[in-house]
Amino acid sequence: MADAPMDPGEYAIQELGPEIRSIEDVDALRAILEAEEAGENRAGAKTIIESRIEKFTEDEESTGEIDPSEMTAAEVGNALQDVDDPEELERIRAAEEEGKNRDSVLTLVDNRLDSVRGSDAEAAEVVPPEEKHPDLDHPTADKRHVRALEEGTYADMWVYCETQAGDLIDVSLEMLGKARELMDDYNETYDADEKVVAVLVGDGVATHAETCIEHGADVVVHHEDPRLDRFRHEPYTRVFCDMARWGGDPGAGNPDPAAWRDYDEPRYVLFPATPNGRDLSAQVQAELDSGLASDCSGLYIENAVISNPAKTGGEDREFERVLHMKRPDFSGFEYSTILCLDNPSREFHPQGASVIPGSFEVPDPEPEREGEVVEHEFELDEEWFRVEVEAFDRLEGGVDLTGHEVIVALGRGIGDDPTRGMELGLELVDAFEDAALGISRGIVTSSYEFEGHVEEYAAEERQIGETGQEVEPDLYVAAGISGAIQHKVGMDESDTIVAVNTDPEADVRDFSDYFIEGDLFEVLPRLVEALEAGKLDAAAVADGGETG
């Protein structure tokens, strides 16, 4: 192995890409990769280096026999895309087992084998798990096996509108507004007349029907039962799925007649990515034998051309009316777009997503809108209520960080003195006329000990990010926050972002308007002083100058 021509640890991730563009020697690039792995071992840096390696090994690997022992896992994965011969894939697998025997590489080969073998749609026989493994005692043996429909009919976008303590929560209205926008474009693009259907489940939820219609719904389907006054997993799932099938038998395509619908199941379904919404979405989509993209922040509908043999039967195929579901990637560097597609042997509907609260605007209500209200009737089994909640406490109010002109957000940077850090954040909040204090998930999950007078500000209800609130203030001050993508999605629509961090290479710097390299325990008091004196110059502070 050649010596590394550079030390990747000397460069920030955003600097590394341009720095290695002039290096075309694969051995040199592999040496740089080894240096990174032995040093800081940053996932983003390794991805950049591996991509560069792949660029110069692709032609060589496509024309010669693949030897996995000489390749990284990423290189193997890239090379496998051009291998369609199952025997060659078996050879590669055997070579990997005899050599490095990496689980990641074996998984890549197995996935490619499944894809290639799945391309013969006529030869592939779909066998239910009960028939394929009759010797196993399945934990769901006492439950009716639900299969995807065959040649089913689908229409409309359904939105589960969650209520809490009898009130319709904001994310329900956000989803209705987005659904209205999507289906208006859909109907124009595909010359269709499909609807937005709001789903309400609970006790007294019918009172929200008009609100749902005013915010975009064409139809409101509701189920009322005093026993459903609070969320319960099984009855809520059973009710929603019966609504979706409208009494039809999966696979038979025979929904009961209904004046407002003539299809087997919804085409699309949206759920809120709240604690209850996440639970319900996963169970409903599993019961309907389809897929789910969770914690999405972007949605659009368009056709998609797919070449994966497992989905197409061996040839490129254009899928129509596909819901593209955008969500933050777990890598922390980018977004992924999830598609729920049929394959040659089965259908996957409804296409489902859960939506991060705050991802979309609450639409202005249109009192003149008209819609249909449908009462769903379905007998609930007492067995579904076998678990009872004897007592519970309900938090009053809660914290809504949206709508403020300024948000001051604190992260793990307060760790040296958590109580003092929280006090400084609150002092900065008080220096503005309309401001609120938020926190990162790092504080929520930490073991920091706060004194009683600031302890309440470390509660999860103030969390900003993918699993918290999304805010769009005029000014966002991120103090001691590294800037992971999960936090970024909660605040990147802010007009002006000022970051305070001791690490000059923190990710938050990449999307900040002003970056102040410094200790928040020193910087925040200076910002407060400058605001009180009316002499704040954020640009000067960011450049290391004085605040006034």
Q: DSSP assignment, residue 2?
A: P
* d(C-alpha 221, C-alpha 436), whole Å: 38
Average of per-residue pLDDT values in the chain: 82
Q: Closest by alpha carbon to 236, among 258, 207, 203, 193?
A: 203
Burial code (b: 16+ CB inside 10 Å, e: under 16) for 261-270 equals: bebbbbbbbb
Angstrom distances, CA of residue 342 to CA of 157, 301, 493: 18, 16, 35
The CA distance from 292 to 246, in Å, is 21
CA atoms of 540 and 202, how far apart (whole Å)? 55
SS3 label, residue 168: strand
Residue 45 to residue 47: CA distance in whole angstroms: 5
Nearest to 251 by CA among 154, 147, 345, 341: 147
Distances (CA, A) of 112 to 79, 106, 310, 342, 444: 11, 10, 10, 18, 41
Tokens of 355: 């939506």
Separation CA 96–CA 150 (nearest Å)? 40
Helices (H), 10-85: 13-20, 26-38, 43-63, 73-80
pLDDT tens-digit readout, 256-303: 667 778 888 899 999 998 889 999 999 999 888 889 999 888 999 999
CA 279, 285, 289: angle at the middle one, nearest 5?
Answer: 145
Our measurement of the distance from residue 319's CA atom to the centroid of its chain's CA atoms, rounded to an integer in Å, reads 22
Tokens found for residue 160: 């589960």
Q: What are the Cα distances from residue 523, in Å, to 439, 440, 519, 529?
A: 18, 19, 6, 10
Specify which residues 318 forms β-bridges with.
Answer: 305
Complete domains list, the chain, with CATH = 8-63 (no CATH), 68-117 (no CATH), 155-385 (3.40.50.620), 406-544 (3.40.50.1220)
Whole-structure pTM value: 0.59
Nearest residue to 479 (alpha-carbon basis) of 445, 529, 428 = 428
**Main-chain dihedrals φ then ψ at residue 444, nearest 5 degrees:** -60, -40
**Residue-level pLDDT, tens digit, the chain, 548 residues:** 567 888 888 887 767 777 787 787 888 888 888 888 888 888 777 877 887 787 666 544 444 578 888 888 777 877 887 787 888 888 998 988 888 888 888 888 887 877 676 544 444 455 555 565 566 555 444 444 455 566 788 999 999 999 987 889 889 999 999 999 999 999 999 999 999 999 999 999 999 999 999 999 999 999 999 988 888 889 999 999 989 987 655 444 455 667 778 888 899 999 998 889 999 999 999 888 889 999 888 999 999 888 766 666 666 788 899 999 988 765 445 678 888 888 777 788 999 999 988 788 889 999 999 999 999 888 888 888 887 777 766 655 567 888 899 999 999 999 999 999 999 999 999 999 899 999 998 888 887 889 989 988 998 889 998 778 888 999 999 999 988 877 888 888 899 999 999 999 888 998 999 999 999 999 999 999 988 887 665 554 444 444 44
Residue range 352-405, pLDDT digits in tens: 999 988 788 889 999 999 999 999 888 888 888 887 777 766 655 567 888 899
- Residue 278 tokens, joined: 């996440």
The neighbour count for residue 514, using CB atoms within 10 Å, is: 17
User: What is residue 69's three-state secondary structure?
Assistant: helix
Judge if the upstream peptide bond of residue 525 is cis by omega within 30 degrees of 0: no
Tell me how far CA of residue 282 lies from CA of 272, 289, 330, in angstroms: 11, 10, 19
Q: Are strands 154-160 and 265-272 parallel, antiparallel or unpaired?
A: parallel
d(CA 327, CA 356): 9
